[in-house]
Amino acid sequence: MDLAALFRQRFATAPTLLARAPGRVNLLGEHVDYNDGMVLPAAIDRAVSLAALPNDDGLVTLYAADLKQSVSFRVEALESKKDAAGKALPNWALYPAGVAWALQSSGLAVRGMQAVYTSDVPIGSGLSSSAAVEMAFGAAWQALGGWKLDKVALAKKGQMAENKYVGVSTGLMDQFASTCGVKGHVLYFDTRSLAWEPIPLPAGTAIVIADSGVRRSLVTSAYNERRASCEQAVELLRQHLPNIKSLRDVSTVEFAAYREFLPETVCKRAEHIVKEIHRVEQAVSCLRSGDAHLFGGLMYAGHNSLRDLYEVSCPELDILVSATRDIPGCHGARLTGAGFGGCTVNLVEADKAQAFVQALRTAYQQKTGRDAAIYVCQASDGAAAWPI
């Protein structure tokens, strides 16, 4: 899509700024971000792109090209969550408006603008389409406002928008990966200290994302239940390990010693978290040594844990993962994102990626009667904006 041409068609003038922010996929470290754990996401080469023209009258007029919908709101009236005509903002507009609100709340200048944006990040699939929208607008307003935040600080504004303006409780990983992505690298991110470093993906590999076509329906209630189980586990384990603040502080040896004091379901949830954090640490060693095969084994182990202990998989995701074991060139696979639908992530030999896609699509169709959208991706750079 030629965004500049669409902008001229929509507003009868030319844009002066382009911005882009990628979606993300998490290769390992699922559901550990709210337990202070370490994660291994990567920004992907599917993104939100926008074209914009600033103004000084405080009016923001947005056109969401994929939805064919537009809205206008004023930057001085963001708190009301209403458009310029006094009507409630549509849900899709809460994300850019929330970013403007979060930036303004920190004393940063937010200019009015006309903007057109589009996305090729599938919505509702676990690839953080909402974070990509937030970070694209964050990058645009930073470029137009004449101020500069470091990347993690900008990601925090996106998280603040989603948590406090949109009303969705999320960790920082999605916005972080969208902002801090590094081409060809996975991001090792400590969600407690916010320290991070890019680590190269194994040479000759590609990230393949398979969309089950199942849209997540139980996420909010299930997410809250699992988060509560993790908090309960910490309270009970603290009777034996008084210095722990979260499950991140419990070693696998300590968990083995004290697991008997946990109720069965709480024990299963906690076991996933403790071992998943340990898997991430092992995976970092694999990446540093370029061992794609062992890294893939850890991905499979992570999926089994999400299926059996955290219980956030579904039959379609399990079929997508199990089918890969018979396809040449696949190092590892697992569900990615919150679960209950959405996508799997696969680490595949790059020269076998296209054959892998065909084989996986055929196997999934035969076993479920469904068609899976499958994307060969590369790890990409994070959010950016530039003048045109």
Q: Catalytic residue numbers?
A: 174
> Phi, psi at residue 79, to the nearest 5°?
-60, -30
Residue 322 makes CB contacts below 8 A (sequence gap 6+) with: none
Q: Which amino acid is at 114?
A: Q
Neighbours of 291 (CB within 10 A): 16
CB 252 within 8 A of CB 223: no
Spatial separation of the C-alpha atoms in residues 36 and 66, rounded to whole Å: 36
Q: DSSP letter string over 241-307? A: STT-SSGGG--HHHHHHHGGGS-HHHHHHHHHHHHHHHHHHHHHHHHHHT-HHHHHHHHHHHHHHHH
Token duo for residue 61: 């007029």
Spatial separation of the C-alpha atoms in residues 182 and 202, rounded to whole Å: 14
